[in-house]
Amino acid sequence: MEEQKQNINTEQEIDLLELARKLWDNRRLIIKWCIIGAVAGLIIGFSIPKEYTTTVKLSPEVQGAKSSMGGGLSSLASMAGINLNSMSSADAVYPELYPDVVSSIPFTTELFDVPVSDKEGELQTTVYDYLSEYTRSPWWSAIMKLPGKAIGGVMSLFKEKDVESDTLDTFQLTKDEMDVVKSLNERIGCSVDKKTNVITLSVTMQDPLISAVLTDTVMNNLQSYITDYRTNKARKDLEYTQMLFDEARMNYHTAQQIYADYMDKNQNIVLHSVRAEQERLRNEMSLAYNLYNQMAQQLQMAKAKVQEQIPVYTVIQPATVPLKASKPSKSLVMIGCVFFAGVCVVIWLLFVKNFVVYMDDSEDVIHVEN
């Protein structure tokens, strides 16, 4: 058994040495193809348009039950990546759902009409027009789209033209609008740290100023969305309380006017029926005043409730115009192309080339026998 193992190890060493020798003999070919891969990587790297990424970080106020025991459990759960504050909160939209909110169609389509301008000040347009008309693509993407455009052009000859509407219908988006929505979802990133609830928003655009402006807009829209959600019930309660307050004030003024008119008409009259009516009108006026005073207090409490429900966001890292492009990384593209070219030529030398030679020799033997 030991002799067999030694023979197998010897054969493996011989095979590895043979493979290494074959690669060494063809080192010039490998270097040549690696240089070709480097040149191709440079061409690809410089052909890809630059992208600039702006990142903001903010910490929201999380509503939830807090206690000494809950604080200890939440600290232990945060080590496992579980947020007990969101689980105990009555909110339906807690921080872990913010990425879904940002990628939703209603939220994304609100960004279509945001005015933007490039860093040089030469372009003044909207986000929708910028993504659909002014974004650049690598030269090979235009070549790859030619067959689809040709087929689409032919198919358009046999289709009736749809009447374009100026209004945006989020229930039924057009193909161009859906393409812009997908492009925005790819360029807008949102993540939430489950331990600290810190929200990270990032926007990647081909212009640094547009990237910063859109990032700030996304942050403000997200804050407005959460604020509207948090204060929705309180604002409805405020509207209802305001309606009751206006009604109580009108009833009080009416009762006060009726009592005053009756007193003016029945001065110096000592009839018991007149006094009874005066007492009744005075009681109605007092009751209306008490209700009016009570509704005034509830109205102030409802206004304070709305203010209390407004969440507070602490902006940890505000939006700033990026100075350097985030992608593409030309060095990584070149290294990847060099590695790919080297792997391909090694596979060719070690496996494919011998197989091709073997197939050619087999065909020659068959021809000779015939």
* CA angle 349–353–359, rounded 5-degree value: 165
Residue 77 has pLDDT above 90, yes or no: no
Based on the fold, state whether residues 270 and 139 are members of the same structural domain.
no
> Among candidates 309, 348, 333, 118, which has minimal Cα distance to 210?
118
**Amino acid in position 13:** E
In a domain, 153, yes or no: no
Based on the fold, state whether residues 245 and 202 are members of the same structural domain.
no
Residue 85 has pLDDT above 80, yes or no: no
Would you state the pLDDT for residue 206? 92
Based on the fold, state whether residues 59 and 101 are members of the same structural domain.
yes
Q: How far is CA 5 from CA 1, 9, 14, 18, 19, in A?
A: 6, 6, 14, 20, 21
Instruction: Tell me which residue range forms the domain holding 347.
Output: 32-48+331-370
Work out the pLDDT band at 8, boundaries 50, 70, 90. Answer: very low
**How many structural domains compose the chain?**
3
* CA angle 156–160–166, rounded 5-degree value: 100
**Mean pLDDT, the chain, whole residue set:** 80
Give me the mean pLDDT over the 256-276 stretch. 84
* Residue showing tokens 């493996």: 12
Based on the fold, state whether residues 36 and 128 are members of the same structural domain.
no
> Among candidates 287, 225, 284, which has minimal Cα distance to 260?
284
Would you state the pLDDT for residue 194? 84
Give me the mean pLDDT over the 171-180 stretch. 89
Phi, psi (deg, nearest 5) at residue 319:
-80, 130
Based on the fold, state whether residues 111 and 63 are members of the same structural domain.
yes
Would you state the pLDDT for residue 88? 44
- Which has more confidence, 7 or 133? 133
Would you state the pLDDT for residue 156? 59
- Which has more confidence, 20 or 147? 20
CATH code: domain of residue 72: 3.30.1890
Supply 78's token pair: 């945060």
Work out the pLDDT band at 263, boundaries 50, 70, 90. Answer: confident
Give me the mean pLDDT over the 196-217 stretch. 92
pTM of the model: 0.71
DSSP string covering 231-276: THHHHHHHHHHHHHHHHHHHHHHHHHHHHHHHHHHTTT---HHHHH
Work out the pLDDT band at 297, boundaries 50, 70, 90. Answer: very high
Would you state the pLDDT for residue 76? 46
> Residues 21-51: pLDDT tens digits?
877 888 888 889 888 988 988 888 888 889 9
Are 207 and 119 in contact by the 8 Å Cβ rule? The answer is yes
Between CA 137 and CA 63 the distance in angstroms is: 45
Give me the mean pLDDT over the 286-305 stretch. 93
Q: How far is CA 53 from CA 1, 30, 104, 137, 364, in A?
A: 63, 37, 21, 17, 60
Give me the mean pLDDT over the 318-342 stretch. 88
What one-character DSSP code corresponds to residue 166? S
Based on the fold, state whether residues 67 and 107 are members of the same structural domain.
yes
